[in-house]
Structures are given as C-alpha cells and as structure tokens.
Amino acid sequence: MIKLGVNIDHVATLRQARYRETPDSPNAEPDPVAAALVAERAGAHGITAHLRLDRRHMQDRDIFALRKSVTTKLNLEMGNSGEVLEIALKVLPDDVCLVPENRREVTTEGGLDCAGQMASLRPTIDRLQESGIVVSLFIDPEEEQIAAAAELGAQFVELHTGAFANSTGGKREDELARLIKSAGLAHAAGLQVNAGHGLNSGNIRDVLPIPHLVELNIGHSIISRAVFCGLDSAVKEMLHLMNDA
C-alpha cells in the first residue's frame, strides 16, 4: 500500500494572509496543528510541513507544536540552511526532506541539485542522521541526481512530479516514463522512493504504477478541495482514489 503524507503548509498560508503581523492574536486562524490532527483522523499516514527561511507560511512555533501533536509521522521539509538545521535538531522530526529554496518562487520549482552541491549537503545529512532523523532528498527524476543521493547516504529520494503534472499528451507520457525509470534506478541504488508535487485527483491514478513507491506527499490539491468539502473529506477522497486504483 502506498502511503499518503498530507502537506499542511497552505493552512498556514491562509492564516498568514490575515495574521502575519499579529501572530499571537487569539483570533489567528486556521491552525495548522488542528489541520494535522484532522488529516490524521481521516487516515493520513503522515504530516508534511515546510519551514522556509522566509517563513511565508509555517512558523517556528508551528513546527514545535506539530512535533508535540502528530502521532503518525512528522516530515519536515527544509532548505539546506544552518538556521533551519538547528531548529530541526531541536524538533527531531521523524523525517527531513531537503528541498531547494528560492525566495522569489511561489512554490518549490524544481529538484535539489545533489550532484552539484554534495560538499554542502553532506554535513547537513550527517548531522540529521546522527540525531536519528531519516533523510530524504527532493530531486528531479534524473540518473545523475539519483546517483548523487545514493552517494550522499540519504535513505529516501522524493521524485519531483511537477513536470509530469504540468504536461499533457505525449510529453506527459514521456515524463511518466522518466519517473518510472528513475524509481527503478533509485531502488537499485538502495534508496527508498517517495514522490510529490502537483499531484491531484485528476492525475493521482496515473502515478500509482511508478514502482517502489513508499509515500506520496500531497498538499495544495487536498487543501484546495477542503475549501469545498472539508479537510476530513478531502483526505478521505484522496485515499480512496489511491486505494481504489
């Protein structure tokens, strides 16, 4: 069974739209921790949250509160930042997924360049793993990046599915083929395989044939659907689509 990790960043995005300047207001809502608990009760296998350097959505206090509340698995996404690394080592999430960050981006736009950043990534990975944290690297489905992730000693890669999700026709088939091939290469290199980015109810069934998948991380689509039907129903609908297929 492929597991579902629910990314709750955009619950915090909505809160920050109104309460960025008054974060301690008793009216500050919605609460991402409450959202995490709803997602868990609905069947999510884990909760994902990204603590960005610019703090545009999740705040430090959210991550500490999630660690106290989440009972499934807490997956912290972070850039390769010394500042956020120190927070991660205090929070001790179950997993850390290292991702690229660009302050001008709307959301993560591509995979981490493991092959080109091995020297800077290695000490971060070592410190996380020494603290018992499982490390995943968010990468594009490219052989060079898979080889670098394996050499760095990460336990997981998370394949970036954005190019697949944003393409159509023959290009989409090509992107799916890249994902399938990359998952096989990662598995052969001793890496476990997650995937995510741009996945929704319209394309989720298409990615399920990717071999060796452990977990899919989905956020924006589930939170968007929750606007109309509630978070509990949105999580259950996604799980149904995954399990039915």
From the CB of residue 209, how many other CB atoms can be counted at a distance below 10 Å?
12
pLDDT one-digit tens code per residue, 95-138: 999 999 876 554 556 899 999 999 999 999 999 999 999 999 99
Predicted confidence at residue 110, as pLDDT, reads 83
Active-site position among 40, 45, 57, 77: 77
Residue 240, CA distances (Å) to 71, 76, 233, 236 in order: 22, 25, 10, 6
Token look-up 């044939």 returns 209
Q: What is the mean pLDDT of the chain?
A: 95
23 pLDDT above the threshold of 80? no
Predicted confidence at residue 3, as pLDDT, reads 98
Residue 82 is encoded by which pair of tokens? 């010394």
Number of domains in the chain: 1
What's at 5, amino acid-wise? G
**107-124: b (≥16 Cβ within 10 Å) or e:** ebebbbbbbebeeebeeb
CATH number of the structural domain spanning residue 165: 3.20.20.70
Structural domain span for residue 118: 3-244
92 pLDDT above the threshold of 60? yes
Active-site position among 10, 40, 45, 50: 50
Quick check: is 86 catalytic?
no
pTM: 0.95
Quick check: is 50 catalytic?
yes
Confidence band (pLDDT; 50, 70, 90) for 160? very high
Name the percent of the chain lying above pLDDT 90: 93
Residue 23 is encoded by which pair of tokens? 């974060």
Predicted confidence at residue 63, as pLDDT, reads 98
Predicted confidence at residue 66, as pLDDT, reads 98
Quick check: is 77 catalytic?
yes
